[in-house]
Amino acid sequence: MSQSDRVQTSIYFPKDIHEALVRWAQEEDRPISNLVVRIVSKAVEEREKQQNPPQ
């Protein structure tokens, strides 16, 4: 996905969630934003599968 295919948004997390995301991102040696994109993308994919089950 190129930069032109992305949009920017702001998210406010509770402090404990942010701290958990920081640790997780550090364990995977990636930026928090990249980790969150991966988590959200997977959640959206799963939701779409549930709403549109294979026929």
pLDDT in the model for residue 1: 66
Q: Does a structural domain hold residue 20?
A: yes
Rounded to whole angstroms, how far apart are CA atoms 27 and 48? 29
Q: Does a structural domain hold residue 1?
A: no
Q: Does a structural domain hold residue 5?
A: no
Q: Does a structural domain hold residue 40?
A: yes
Q: Does a structural domain hold residue 3?
A: no
Q: Does a structural domain hold residue 2?
A: no
Q: Is 32 helix (H, G, I), strand (E, B) or coil?
A: helix
What would the pLDDT profile of 11-52 be if each residue is shown by its tens digit? Answer: 999 999 999 999 999 999 999 999 999 999 999 999 999 998
Q: Does a structural domain hold residue 21?
A: yes
**Token digits of residue 23:** 């640790």
6, pLDDT greater than 70:
yes
Nearest to 30 by CA among 42, 38, 18: 38
**Token digits of residue 33:** 């934003």
Count of domains forming the chain? 1
Q: Write out the residue range of the structural domain in which residue 44 sits.
A: 12-51
Predicted model pTM: 0.80
